[in-house]
Structure 1
């Protein structure tokens, strides 16, 4: 039986066994030594043996990390330090040595031997510390060895509480605005966050995290917390709303009701929906008309002041009351050119018409009729297979070739000439009818045949031969 009494206390109480995958569980062991008897006890050493290992009866698996210290307290309250050190060598023990040999351990005095930074063994159970004291009732008496056993409890590791309160610092943001996510973190858990656009979960720690790219549309973030011991996963979600979302695609099955649609960037155009139609604006909130670009547009009707090409200097069509005008360029008063494969008009009012080349012939329209001109301005030629006219006013008529005969028109009649000369030519005909005499009604008739010319009173010759009357003419 020991002369001194031994009591063990721990912090935390009880000690918690270390768990795989977590930070090691550590604690402090206090061994309180008291003299509860009526007589003083004289001591030299008190040794405390620590069970080392990973079993249920072991206190720690790492003896060398323990930091020992001692303090002696008299009943009157005086305190003094006590030397505590590992030993003896080769043992898993600590030994306290009396500061001054022969000093009594008086009734009511106490001593606390502290073992700090104890890494608790991983198996729950009851660990027993063995205490060996060398004491005597007299100062000079022989010291005898006595033993005591003090036990402490190691409980199984507690299940780690799951993290909670996963939330953004702003429930709603503008597109592109930065935000930070927060949560109440449980030590020892592994944390990852999943979100749209991330190829794989992102490892996080510290209870807060900011996405590298601010959300452009409503985005849900998922916090994955993994218990390192059980590998159980906990999932927490939070959604951030975006005030002006940017969407990659939008499918509406029943329609979209909105007062306006605008581009995603500052200064982009906008389409405003007003009563009965839509208006294209240069920018959102502006009253300046914008520009509509399209590869092809199909309308039942277009009301516009003008139409022009895409490039500077392109032609321009302006719509005036009662018609349109084609201008060389926008803002110019120079008439432009209308190009078409074919034009179908009920009527054309124009000063002149010309072929495509500058030396092509052209037709001008004076008050009296039309003039056909060459490209240089001289009188031109009308080429046609047939002409059907009510009348022709011309100085002469000739065949298609230069050596064909030609007819000139004089005040008193016409003259027939050989081609390319002023020599009289020949008139070829089966017959020549007299003036104002219809066939078979008594008009004189000339029959032309191989032997010569026969003059008849009538076409069929029934009235006999007629007379030849001639008037002298000197060319």
Structure 2
């Protein structure tokens, strides 16, 4: 039986057996030495630690243990006095405790000594490990060596506590700003962090991690902790938000509410206004929409241009639209059809450089041949005009009739250049200058116009023809004879100059007078004839003189 008492304490209070594949289970063993009786002279105390892997072993190696010892004198002064004692390993399984002097010293009643074994790596098997304590003291009979057995319990290893508090250093990141993730947990786990598109293994002993590339959008990270022995896994998640996210794709089934949308490297922006959208470029000014097609009800724009800077351009002044080349010069409109209420243009030309073209002087329009100023030809089915100014008009063929317009009127000619014929139903003219006029047929009567007047002829030939009319109002008639219009009617024949006229069939008249008012006249009454004249304003009988009186011819 030992003179001193020995008690074991541990920190933690229950030592867990180590498990292969985990961090070693470590703890501190305290051997409390007390004296409940009278003073005991002591010189050394040895503690034998069971070394090995079995249930009865405390540790595999005492070389990892940090030993120290302290002796506390509670009796000599008003306050306890503590001093160190010497603790040294002996061999592979013994710690020896001696006094500072190395000589025999008194262990007074009420005093105590604590032997501390720090960083004890607990053996892997659960069970009771018994430490053997051997004390060497001096008694009246001499040196006394006694042993005491002090047990310590090694509990079976518990499941590794799950990791906790997986957290980012910032919940909201600016563009390009990276994140640092941290967590609390046992180093016995194998850690991995998973994220969209990849995963990263965590080096042993590390409790923080940052992605190689800063997150571009809201990202959820998953911490996976795996027990290397049981392969049981624990999962923790955390999510970081990005103030200006960059999305590869976005599908919104119920809509997106946002004041604007902006690019990443190129800062083009779409802003949503009360009336629609506005497009801005990097500089903040109005931007460009590039698309394959646009289906719009209307477009309000200052100009429209092709994709290249030298492409055609359309501007929209208040009075319509201007089509220009990329250089700014007037451009061309190419189209299949144009439905317009009006066109203001200097000229119109076919698609080719040698096509005909129309120019528009102030007086009207000019039709010209291709490249040049030569007059061109208008081809049409009909023309409804108020007037035509032209040098000539001709049928479609080169030998068709042709009308030219000299200063004094118009000439109708055959294609050969000879005088041509006017065919018409009626002609309403103020005057006609012609050599002759004839009916439609070759044997119809015709009129020629000699310098003295006109000649009426029968059909083909020079025989005199007849004039048929209701009335004739003429200043003078030169003719051989004048006849009534019917059969058996009287007629007047004009004799030689000095013989006068011969009337066949008689003359019926109320009176006959000379050419002048003061000449005599003849009145016819029931009694005969009365030749009268005027003298001094009075009507009186006139003198009748004649060379001869001829009988009425048969």
- Settle same-fold status: TM greater than 0.5: yes
CA 1:304/1:40 → structure 2, altered by over 3 Å: closer, same or farther? closer
Higher RCO (C-alpha 8 Å, min separation 6): 1
**1:152 CA drift (Å):** 1.9
Residues 351-362 of structure 1: pairs in structure 2 closer than 5 A: 351-354=346-349, 362=357
When normalised by structure 1's length, the TM-score is 0.70
Query: Structure 1 residue 226 and structure 2 residue 226: aligned?
Result: yes
Which whole-Å CA distance do the structure 2 matches of 1:320 and 1:134 have between them?
Answer: 119
Which whole-Å CA distance do the structure 2 matches of 1:254 and 1:97 have between them?
Answer: 83
**1:25 CA drift (Å):** 2.3
Q: Contact 1:374 / 1:380 at 8 angstroms: preserved in 2?
A: no
Which whole-Å CA distance do the structure 2 matches of 1:362 and 1:31 have between them?
Answer: 122
Match of 1:16 in 2: 16
CA 1:468/1:238 → structure 2, altered by over 3 Å: closer, same or farther? farther
Match of 1:299 in 2: 296
Higher Cα Rg, which structure: 2
Match of 1:53 in 2: 52
Which whole-Å CA distance do the structure 1 matches of 2:401 and 2:150 have between them?
Answer: 153
Task: Give the alignment's Cα RMSD to 1 decimal.
Answer: 4.6
Which whole-Å CA distance do the structure 1 matches of 2:220 and 2:20 have between them?
Answer: 33
When normalised by structure 2's length, the TM-score is 0.62
Match of 1:462 in 2: none
Query: Structure 1 residue 278 and structure 2 residue 276: aligned?
Result: yes
Match of 1:85 in 2: 88
**1:179 CA drift (Å):** 3.5
CA 1:466/1:246 → structure 2, altered by over 3 Å: closer, same or farther? same
Corresponding residue SS for 2:24? coil
Equivalenced residues, count:
428
Corresponding residue SS for 2:296? coil
Residues 412-427 of structure 1: pairs in structure 2 closer than 5 A: none
Q: Contact 1:260 / 1:273 at 8 angstroms: preserved in 2?
A: no
CA 1:16/1:202 → structure 2, altered by over 3 Å: closer, same or farther? closer
Match of 1:239 in 2: 239
CA 1:55/1:215 → structure 2, altered by over 3 Å: closer, same or farther? same
Query: Structure 1 residue 337 and structure 2 residue 339: aligned?
Result: no
Q: Contact 2:202 / 2:209 at 8 angstroms: preserved in 1?
A: no
Match of 1:29 in 2: 29
Corresponding residue SS for 2:202? strand
Q: Contact 1:14 / 1:155 at 8 angstroms: preserved in 2?
A: yes
Alignment partner of 2:462 out of 449, 464, 467: 467
Residues 440-459 of structure 1: pairs in structure 2 closer than 5 A: 442-443=444-445
Which whole-Å CA distance do the structure 2 matches of 1:79 and 1:299 have between them?
Answer: 96
Match of 1:439 in 2: 441
**Cα deviation digits, residues 229-251 of structure 1 (max 9, x gap):** 44322222223344443333233
Q: Contact 1:444 / 1:466 at 8 angstroms: preserved in 2?
A: no
CA 1:208/1:335 → structure 2, altered by over 3 Å: closer, same or farther? same
**1:11 CA drift (Å):** 3.4
Alignment partner of 2:131 out of 129, 149, 161: 129
**Cα deviation digits, residues 314-347 of structure 1 (max 9, x gap):** 43333445543333457x5x53333345556676
Query: Structure 1 residue 193 and structure 2 residue 190: aligned?
Result: no
Q: Contact 1:417 / 1:426 at 8 angstroms: preserved in 2?
A: no
